[in-house]
Amino acid sequence: MVGVRDVTELINNPPFELSAADKESLLTREEDYIPHTWEEIKQVIADGDMSVLKRGPTDLRNYILWTRDTRAKYGSATNFILHERLQWGTPVDGKLSCLDPVPFANPADYRVLRNDWPYGTTPDITHLVVWLRTPLAVDEEGDPTPESRQRITDFLKKTFGVSGDGQGDDRLLWFKNRQKWQSVRAIEHIHVLLRGADDALITKITGQTQDDMNCRAYVPE
């Protein structure tokens, strides 16, 4: 655990909204942190309350510090992702240009990347993010509509060989955070978790190695 004064300052002045689980993690010693298991994440997704998912204490502390540093340099974490990770440029009137308004219809309108700051899970789980130029339709609760869910599972089946629809193969889970718990709200995205994935395949799909992730590369001042 970071120093008490550091924790208090991070909790009182976060750059994004912290959940109760986040605050609990910051107050936990690294050696006492219990990572999320596959079965636990499955239940969380089924229950629909993603706010209980958390990063490990050190990663969460560094994520908060990185977000502050990134805002100072780029103006926002969104700008960093757009320009450094996705290289999609600046939105016009709050919207990104696209080649096809239908989500996943054109490969130029989406990108699969490693999550720079993944949740604190057991080592067998890989956390990816699918970023889209085009928004996914959601219901009044903020959850994907049936049509959006079908588009997502079709894309996952095509990309990873398994759809994550709960039928059969149990190697993939996915979810879309409701806006309140999105630390990057301006770019459409979904979270994908893979169990027992070949890291060489992940590198091929994302164009990134594990060392490219900010959680590995960032050193706080």
pLDDT in tens, 203-213: 999 999 999 99
Q: Is the pLDDT of residue 216 over 90?
A: yes
Mean predicted confidence (pLDDT) in 80-109: 92
Phi, psi of 24 (to 5 degrees): -60, -40
Mean predicted confidence (pLDDT) in 173-186: 74
- pLDDT over 90 percentage in the chain: 79
Residues 6+ apart with CB under 8 A from 155: 103, 104, 110, 130
Q: Which residues pair with 110 in a beta bridge?
A: 132
Q: Which residues pair with 121 in a beta bridge?
A: 36
Least confident of 11-15, 93-97, 153-157: 93-97
* pLDDT confidence band for 101 (50 / 70 / 90): very high
Contacts from 216-219 at CB under 8 Å and sequence distance 24+? 218/62, 218/65, 218/66
- Output the pLDDT for position 159: 95
The residue with greater pLDDT, 134 or 6, is: 134
- Output the pLDDT for position 183: 53
DSSP annotation string for 91-108: -BTTB---S-SSTTSSGG
Q: Which residues pair with 129 in a beta bridge?
A: 113, 191
- Output the pLDDT for position 142: 86
Q: What is the average pLDDT value for the chain, to the nearest integer?
A: 91
* pLDDT confidence band for 167 (50 / 70 / 90): low
Structure-token pair, residue 95: 């919207």
Least confident of 102-111, 140-149, 158-167: 158-167
- Output the pLDDT for position 38: 98
Mark out the alpha helices in the chain (DSSP H runs). 4-12, 20-26, 38-47, 57-74, 77-80, 146-160, 199-206, 214-217
Burial string for 186-205 (b: 16+ CB within 10 Å, else e) reads ebbbbbbbbbebeeeebeeb
Mean predicted confidence (pLDDT) in 154-160: 95
Q: Which residues pair with 15 in a beta bridge?
A: none
Query: pLDDT for 36-89, tens place per residue?
Result: 999 999 999 999 999 999 999 999 999 999 999 999 999 999 999 999 999 998
- Output the pLDDT for position 165: 67
Q: Is the pLDDT of residue 111 over 90?
A: yes
CB 218 within 8 A of CB 61: no
Q: Is the pLDDT of residue 1 over 80?
A: no
Least confident of 88-92, 102-106, 131-135: 88-92
Q: How far apart are CA 80 and CA 69, in angstroms?
A: 11
